[in-house]
Amino acid sequence: MKEISQDANCTASWMKPDGTCIPITLNHNSKAIELVGDADAMNILWKKGWQRITYYGGGALYCHNDFKAPNNVQKRNVIDLAMEYGFTKAIYDGGKKTELLWSRDDVL
């Protein structure tokens, strides 16, 4: 899992409900605590609709939130990021369920 952002792009970030990305500097939890000021910051952000943006091996860009799926703006922005940075797919990870948002194979 990508936690450290070398180039400060949005592929390792928090995404607000309005689709704005906040790149992380160390890891998602420390950035969440910096933003919220609470030890339970990740859950607080998730409950407010923020998405944790990250990537793993295999060419997928993930948005992750254990409580809420991405809204339409967030979906569009995650797909745009995946395309811009050359990922092969964009996936929503809801903890207990995953959903393919976009795949390069879907494009004619």
User: Is 100 strand, coil or helix?
Assistant: strand
Distance CA 108, CA 39 (A): 46
- Cα distance between residue 108 and residue 35, in whole Å: 40
Contacts of 69 (CB under 8 A, 6+ apart): 92, 94, 99
* pLDDT tops 50 at residue 44: yes
Q: Does any domain span residue 5?
A: no
Is residue 73 in a domain? yes
- The number of domains in the chain is 1
pLDDT above 50: residue 52: yes
- pLDDT value at 7 more than 60: no
The pTM (predicted TM-score) of the whole model is: 0.88
Mean pLDDT of 18-27: 93
57 found inside a domain: yes
Q: Does residue 85 fall inside a structural domain?
A: yes
Domain that residue 67 falls in: 13-106
pLDDT tens sequence across 74-93: 999 999 999 999 999 999 99
User: Would you say residue 4 has pLDDT above 50?
Assistant: no
